[in-house]
Structure 1
Amino acid sequence: MNVHWLKKLRVVVSLFFLILTSLLFLDYRKMIPESLFSTVLSLQFVPSFLKFFTVLKITVFGFIVVIVLTLLFGRIYCSTICPLGVLQDVVAYISRKFKSRRKGRYHYQKAKNILRYTILGITAVALVFGSTYLLLLLDPYSNFGRIMTYFVKPLLVWVNNLFSPLLARINVYYLYPVDLKPIKAAVYIVPVIILGLVLWLSVTRGRLYCNTVCPVGAFLGLLSKFSLFKFRFDTQACTGCHLCEFSCKSSCLDVVNMTVDETRCVTCFDCLTSCKLGAMSYTTRKALKTDSVIKPVKVRESNRKMFNGDHDPGKRVFILGSLAFLAGITGISKAKEYVKNAKPTTIPEKKNFPVTPPGSLSIRHFTDYCTACSLCIDACPTDVLQPAFMQYGLAGIMQPTMDYHSGYCNYDCVRCTEVCPTGAILPLKKEAKQTVQTGLAHFVKENCVVYTDETNCGACAEHCPTKAVHMVPYKEDLVIPETNDDICIGCGACEHVCPTTPFKAIYVDGNEIHNLAEKPKEEKLENPLEKTEDFPF
């Protein structure tokens, strides 16, 4: 049976998932409908697994589909659906184009089982005890999302802003300038390390990251030992030319002993197309057992040394050092200008809790299920969602938080609740979201320009969607803000537009557990026509 078409199919499917997933993170113009997010991401293993415990929808069974596919075909998820895995294949493919034929070869390597199963075990134990910290750091989907958000998207926006004025000169207005909020430099530490590790291993060792660091790869590798379809050598046809070994990015083909390490094989089908003699096959376990009486033809050990070359001890040091570091870590438009304070404010904002997005229920729920994939950050139209550094503590680095200096939460927007793939942010209807109290506004009179400079402002009250912030008489013809906790939803519009620096005169302190605010009372406008029986003029 000719199965060479399997590789072509794998390439097409993997590029489809890579491009589609990338577009979700790079959609800086917010053109992709929210319904597409859950459809595309339903097969991402970790988000689907976490969402299984929070939302009962058909899309949460994606991880079960992945498990079934693995038990049938092996680690097909790693070669076609996982965006980080496909990205590594693309990087490896491009890098090999710049290498000599000999240097571009892969070689069989012994499995680093102690390392990868230790990482898998620690991650699983931490998850059982309610910590998603290691999963946040090592989940391949989330790491891919951070790579797209922190590195590729800014480059794309820069190119957009470079060409938009040039095109405008020739009356082409399809592109327009886009404002991208800067991310704190400290947040880049982990993404830079992961990106460097992934790129370096992709260029030099193919899929070594997937077979040493990635807990999803280790788990699916265990399942693939029992898969229905497996790769095998035809011991009578194989001549020991090592061509299959040279093409194996997982370094799992042992030509000397004619064996395949199924736990590391990512089912890329490269070995099938590289073998010119048809000595590699992809068959069911039944067919494999039928031919198991054939004794493997031993290839001389001298051939192994000739093909493999010298051992590189620096690789292990680099990987272990990187893992040790990771383990140790265990909008409103301001078109209208408001008066700024003449003197710097002196009373700091006393925030006890960070503000989590509406639909996240509580800080505990949010941090337990969020893997910091940054999809909600990309989807947020006002840029209020920003990656945290220490707001949630060391274990919450890169998880989104509401940064009201960057933006505010639009009263009518529920986009983040619709795109979250893990259930950290649960779906909300617009009407329900408008009464979710994520925090409370606190007014610091001594910081307000009405108090310090005796001048009118009212920016906070003007932008409050529920009128929880309103103006009351102060002295003479001045009015000053006052807050109503009952109808405040913590959207941060007041804090965002407050003109005082360096400390705001009004700020939002997060609720550890989200509350329900009262609906603001709608004042009925008086109709003068109802007061007279005569014609009004």
Structure 2
Amino acid sequence: MNFLYLKRARVLISILFFISTLIIFLNINEWLTSKSASVITYLQFVPSLVKFLSVVGFSTFGFVFIIAVTFVWGRVYCSSICPLGTLQDIVSYLSRKISRKKNHFLLKPYSIIRYSILCLTIIFLISGSLFLLNLLDPFSNFGRIISNLVRPIVFYIRNFISGILESVNLFFLTPADLKNIDLISVAIGLTVLIVVVAFSYKKGRLFCNTICPVGTLLGIFSRFSIYKIAIDESTCKSCNLCERECKAGCIDKKNKVIDFSRCISCYNCFNACHSDGIVYVNTVKTNTLGQQTDNDDRRRVFIKSLLVYFASLSGLSIAQIKIIPKKESTVPVYKKFPVSPPGSQSISQFTSSCTACHLCISACPTQVLQPSFLEFGFLGMMQPRMDYYTSFCNYDCVICSEVCPTGAIKNILPEAKKLSQLGKAVFVKDNCIVYTEETTCGACSEHCPTKAVDMLEPHKNLKAPKLNNDICIGCGACEYACPTKPYKAIYVEGNPVHLVAKKP
């Protein structure tokens, strides 16, 4: 039987998933919608699994489909759906074109390393921490690379071209607004990219078979796959072409054995073999009756145990601030709690479900969502936070809740969001220029959508801000608009648990 079409199909599917995922993370013209995000991220293993652990529903069963496919055909997810896997394939392909090294060879299984990482990840997950999952999830790592490294570069190039076009009176390409670049996030994303590129440049898919917990887990499942790639000793000519093309390094030419726990179902070996020595076998039919019964029983017990386990488990626009204080503010601002995104319900719920993929950061139209460093603690590193020094949250915007693939930010209606209190405003009188410079301001009140900040407090012949936190929703418009530096005269203290504000 001719299996050459399998590689072509795999390449086509992987390119489609790679490009579509790349597009939603770049989000150049804010074309990202909740529907497109949910469709593209539905089959991403870790976001789907994490969402399943917090919200059970059809929209969370993408990972179950991946497991089912793995039990039938092996690690198709790794070869065709995972965007980080496709990125590695691109690097590996280019490395073979650039360097003199043209062949792959059998690699050590590194079983102790990969199973230790998987066990530690599961232990962290069971204990309620997503730290290792955030750090190692291939989808989230791909998202951080695109959001923090590629996206700013694309925006700068776009703005450069836009400037050239404007100089000749062509205005069809508008400049992109990139408010902030977090250097720590850039450094982490760059480190991951260097590691992934180095692994794939030298050893193909070694990263997937040593460090990635998803690859290791699916590798365990693939041991029980119904259809497996095998070497037909009767037709094999021992030419070693299949081993040279195996990007996973899992073909043992000497013993004519394929380690299917490391095979990523790339199907390169089919195209390499000219003697029909590589075949796709049905392990159920090829076994003897007794072996078939034993294997079927083991497979049924494994799947049943797995199933039992899973069953148990923008209206506001802020103009450029023109008020320039004459002197710097002097009272430091210390925030006890960061502000988690609208729809996250609480900091604990958010940090226990967020994989830090940064899709919400790419989708946010005001760019108020920024990667955290230690604001959520060491284990919450890189998870998004509301950065009101950089921007503010639009009064009726809920796009982050619509695109979140894990359920860390749950769907929230615009009307409910307008009463969701993410935090409360705090006024620092000794930093306010109405008091320190005796000059009029009112930037905070002017931009507050609920008028929780109003210029009602008399101060000599001026009016100073007065807070009504009953109607404050913690959107950060006041903090962003406040002109004092380096410390704001008004800031938002995050609510550990989101509250409901009164109607303005």
Could you give the per-residue CA deviations for residues 190-213 of structure 1, whole angstroms, max 9, x where no partner exists? 322211110001111000000000
Give the 4+ runs in structure 1 shifted more than 4 A: 290-293, 331-334
Judge conservation of contact 2:457–2:466 (CA < 8 Å) in 1. no
The one of 206, 219, 224 aligned to 1:221: 219
Identity of aligned residues (%): 48
**Which residue does the alignment assign to 2:111?**
113
Query: Is 1:373 aligned with 2:357?
Result: yes
More moved, 231-240 vs 491-500: 231-240
Q: How does 1:112-261 map to 2 (within 5 A)?
A: 112-261=110-259
Measure, in 1, the Cα distance between the counterparts of 2:150 and 2:174. 18
**Which residue does the alignment assign to 1:385?**
369
**Which residue does the alignment assign to 2:82?**
82
Measure, in 1, the Cα distance between the counterparts of 2:236 and 2:459. 95
One-letter amino acid of the structure 2 residue matched with residue 200 of structure 1 = A
3-state secondary structure, aligned to 1:451: helix
One-letter amino acid of the structure 1 residue matched with residue 415 of structure 2 = E
Change (3 A) 1:185 1:249: same
Query: Is 1:408 aligned with 2:392?
Result: yes
User: Shift of residue 119 of structure 1?
Assistant: 0.2
| Matched positions, count | 481
Larger radius of gyration: 1
User: Shift of residue 456 of structure 1?
Assistant: 0.9
Query: Is 1:514 aligned with 2:475?
Result: no
Measure, in 1, the Cα distance between the counterparts of 2:104 and 2:359. 35
Change (3 A) 1:114 1:473: closer
**Which residue does the alignment assign to 1:463?**
447
Could you give the per-residue CA deviations for residues 342-390 of structure 1, whole angstroms, max 9, x where no partner exists? 2211111131100000111111111111111010000000010000111
Measure, in 1, the Cα distance between the counterparts of 2:290 and 2:154. 54
The one of 347, 350, 353 aligned to 2:331: 347
One-letter amino acid of the structure 1 residue matched with residue 473 of structure 2 = I
**Which residue does the alignment assign to 1:55?**
55
One-letter amino acid of the structure 2 residue matched with residue 261 of structure 1 = D
One-letter amino acid of the structure 1 residue matched with residue 449 of structure 2 = P
One-letter amino acid of the structure 2 residue matched with residue 119 of structure 1 = I
3-state secondary structure, aligned to 1:123: helix
Measure, in 1, the Cα distance between the counterparts of 2:285 and 2:167. 67
Could you give the per-residue CA deviations for residues 98-132 of structure 1, whole angstroms, max 9, x where no partner exists? 122xx120001221110000000010011001010
3-state secondary structure, aligned to 2:408: coil
One-letter amino acid of the structure 2 residue matched with residue 46 of structure 1 = V
User: Shift of residue 3 of structure 1?
Assistant: 1.1
One-letter amino acid of the structure 1 residue matched with residue 435 of structure 2 = Y
Judge conservation of contact 1:348–1:503 (CA < 8 Å) in 2. yes
**Which residue does the alignment assign to 1:528?**
none
Q: CA RMSD in A?
A: 1.7
Change (3 A) 1:404 1:260: same
**Which residue does the alignment assign to 1:98?**
98
Judge conservation of contact 2:149–2:186 (CA < 8 Å) in 1. no
Q: How does 1:65-76 map to 2 (within 5 A)?
A: 65-76=65-76
3-state secondary structure, aligned to 2:415: helix
User: Shift of residue 336 of structure 1?
Assistant: 5.0
Judge conservation of contact 1:183–1:387 (CA < 8 Å) in 2. no
User: Shift of residue 169 of structure 1?
Assistant: 4.2
3-state secondary structure, aligned to 2:473: coil
Judge conservation of contact 1:440–1:508 (CA < 8 Å) in 2. yes
Could you give the per-residue CA deviations for residues 55-106 of structure 1, whole angstroms, max 9, x where no partner exists? 3442210000000000010000000011101111111111111122xx1200
One-letter amino acid of the structure 2 residue matched with residue 252 of structure 1 = C
Could you give the per-residue CA deviations for residues 131-165 of structure 1, whole angstroms, max 9, x where no partner exists? 10000000000000001111111111111011112
Measure, in 2, the Cα distance between the counterparts of 1:449 and 1:239. 84
Judge conservation of contact 1:232–1:288 (CA < 8 Å) in 2. no
User: Shift of residue 476 of structure 1?
Assistant: 4.0
**Which residue does the alignment assign to 2:308?**
none
One-letter amino acid of the structure 1 residue matched with residue 206 of structure 2 = L
Measure, in 2, the Cα distance between the counterparts of 1:97 and 1:168. 40
User: Shift of residue 236 of structure 1?
Assistant: 1.3
Measure, in 1, the Cα distance between the counterparts of 2:418 and 2:168. 44
3-state secondary structure, aligned to 2:85: helix
**Which residue does the alignment assign to 1:45?**
45
Change (3 A) 1:245 1:497: same
Q: How does 1:326-341 map to 2 (within 5 A)?
A: 335=319, 337-341=321-325
Judge conservation of contact 1:359–1:417 (CA < 8 Å) in 2. yes
User: Shift of residue 182 of structure 1?
Assistant: 2.8
Measure, in 2, the Cα distance between the counterparts of 1:128 and 1:451. 52
Measure, in 2, the Cα distance between the counterparts of 1:473 and 1:500. 19
Measure, in 2, the Cα distance between the counterparts of 1:515 and 1:342. 37
Measure, in 1, the Cα distance between the counterparts of 2:319 and 2:496. 34
User: Shift of residue 180 of structure 1?
Assistant: 1.2
Measure, in 1, the Cα distance between the counterparts of 2:182 and 2:274. 53
Query: Is 1:30 aligned with 2:49?
Result: no
Measure, in 1, the Cα distance between the counterparts of 2:285 and 2:257. 15
Could you give the per-residue CA deviations for residues 314-362 of structure 1, whole angstroms, max 9, x where no partner exists? xxxxxxxxxxxxxxxxx97554544232221111113110000011111
Measure, in 1, the Cα distance between the counterparts of 2:26 and 2:251. 37
Measure, in 2, the Cα distance between the counterparts of 1:255 and 1:448. 75
Query: Is 1:421 aligned with 2:405?
Result: yes
Judge conservation of contact 2:353–2:406 (CA < 8 Å) in 1. yes
3-state secondary structure, aligned to 2:217: helix
Measure, in 1, the Cα distance between the counterparts of 2:249 and 2:487. 56
Change (3 A) 1:474 1:7: same
Judge conservation of contact 2:148–2:185 (CA < 8 Å) in 1. no
Measure, in 2, the Cα distance between the counterparts of 1:287 and 1:96. 38
User: Shift of residue 489 of structure 1?
Assistant: 0.4
User: Shift of residue 181 of structure 1?
Assistant: 2.5
Measure, in 1, the Cα distance between the counterparts of 2:495 and 2:317. 26
**Which residue does the alignment assign to 1:453?**
437
More moved, 115-124 vs 275-284: 275-284
Measure, in 2, the Cα distance between the counterparts of 1:168 and 1:290. 74
User: Shift of residue 188 of structure 1?
Assistant: 3.0
Measure, in 2, the Cα distance between the counterparts of 1:476 and 1:238. 95
One-letter amino acid of the structure 1 residue matched with residue 389 of structure 2 = H
Provide the TM-score with structure 2 as the length reference.
0.93
User: Shift of residue 291 of structure 1?
Assistant: 13
Could you give the per-residue CA deviations for residues 476-505 of structure 1, whole angstroms, max 9, x where no partner exists? 431000111110000000000000111100
3-state secondary structure, aligned to 1:282: strand
**Which residue does the alignment assign to 1:441?**
425
